[in-house]
Amino acid sequence: MKIIEVKNLTKKFGNFIAVNNISFEVEKGEIFAFLGPNGAGKSTTIKMLTTLLSPSEGELTLDGHNVKKNPNEVRHSFGIVFQDPSLDDELTAYENMEFHGVLYNVSKKIRRKRIEQLLNFVELWDRKNSLVKEFSGGMKRRLEIARGLLHHPKILFLDEPTLGLDPQTRNHMWEYLRELNEKENITIFFTTHYMEEAEKIAGRIAIIDHGNIVMSGTSDELKKNTGTDSLEEAFLKLTGKDIRKDEANTIDRMRMHRNRWRK
Amino acid sequence: MKTIYILWLRQLKRYFRSKSRMFGSLAQPLLFLLALGFGFGPVFAKAGQGNYIQFLVPGIIGMSIIFTSIFSGMEIIWDRQFGFLKETLVAPVSRFNIMIGRTFGGATIATMQGIIVLLLSLLAGFRPFSLVLVPLAILVMFLCSLLFTAMGTMIASNLDDMQGFQMIMNFLVMPLFFLSGAIFPLGGSGVLAVVAKFDPLSYSIDLLRHLLSNINNFTMGFDLFVLSIITLVFLGLGSYFFSKIQI
DSSP one-letter string for A220-244: HHHHHHHT-SSHHHHHHHHHTTTHH
Does the residue A53 lie in any domain? yes
| pLDDT single digits (tens) B87-130 | 999 999 999 999 999 999 999 999 999 999 999 999 999 999 89
- Which residues in chain A have Cβ-Cβ distances shorter than 8 Å to B88? 103
Q: Answer whether B87 sits within 8 Å of A87, measured CB to CB.
A: yes
What does the pLDDT read at residue A190? Answer: 96
What does the pLDDT read at residue A263? Answer: 43
Among A94, A120, A152, identify where a domain stops.
Answer: A152
Mean pLDDT of chain B: 93
3-class state of residue A23 by DSSP: strand
| pLDDT single digits (tens) A49-59 | 999 999 999 99
Nearest chain B CA: its distance from A224 CA (Å): 38
Whether the per-residue pLDDT at A262 is higher than 70: the answer is no
Q: To probe the interface with B, which of A75, A81, A103 has the most B CB atoms within 10 Å? A: A103
What does the pLDDT read at residue B214? Answer: 93
Among A110, A131, A152, identify where a domain stops.
Answer: A152
Judge whether A143 and A94 are in contact, CB under 8 Å: no
- Which residues in chain B have Cβ-Cβ distances shorter than 8 Å to A104? 91-92
Judge whether B112 and B68 are in contact, CB under 8 Å: no
Residue A218: which region, alpha, beta or left (left: phi > 0; alpha: psi -120 to 50)? beta
Q: What is the pTM of this model?
A: 0.89
Closest Cβ opposite residue A262 in set B88, B89, B160? B160
Question: Do A95 and A123 share a domain, yes or no?
Answer: yes
- CA–CA distance, A120 with A111 (Å, rounded to integer): 14
Q: Which of A41, A42, A45, A50 is nearest to A68 (CA)?
A: A50
Q: Answer whether B246 sits within 8 Å of A52, measured CB to CB.
A: yes
Question: Do A63 and A181 share a domain, yes or no?
Answer: yes
What does the pLDDT read at residue A69? Answer: 92
Question: Do A47 and A143 share a domain, yes or no?
Answer: no
pLDDT bucket at A183, cuts 50 / 70 / 90: very high
Question: Do A28 and A40 share a domain, yes or no?
Answer: yes
Does the residue A235 lie in any domain? no
- Of chain A, the percentage scoring pLDDT greater than 70 comes to 91
Q: Which of A60, A40, A8 is nearest to A207 (CA)?
A: A40
3-class state of residue B110 by DSSP: helix
- Which residues in chain B have Cβ-Cβ distances shorter than 8 Å to A88? 10, 14, 79, 82, 84, 87
| pLDDT single digits (tens) B197-228 | 999 999 999 999 999 999 988 999 999 999 99
Whether the per-residue pLDDT at B63 is higher than 90: the answer is yes
- Which residues in chain A have Cβ-Cβ distances shorter than 8 Å to B164? none
Nearest chain B CA: its distance from A23 CA (Å): 22
| pLDDT single digits (tens) B22-38 | 888 899 999 999 999 99
Mean pLDDT of chain A: 89
What does the pLDDT read at residue A164? Answer: 82
Domain assignment of residue A114, given as a range: 85-152
Q: Answer whether B18 sits within 8 Å of A90, measured CB to CB.
A: yes
Question: Do A175 and A202 share a domain, yes or no?
Answer: yes
Question: Do A50 and A136 share a domain, yes or no?
Answer: no
pLDDT bucket at B139, cuts 50 / 70 / 90: very high
Domain count, chain A: 2
What's the longest Cα–Cα distance across chain B?
61
Q: Answer whether B17 sits within 8 Å of A50, measured CB to CB.
A: no
Mean pLDDT over B43-72 rounds to 94
Tell whether the torsion through CA atoms of B180, B184, B187 and B192 is positive or negative.
negative
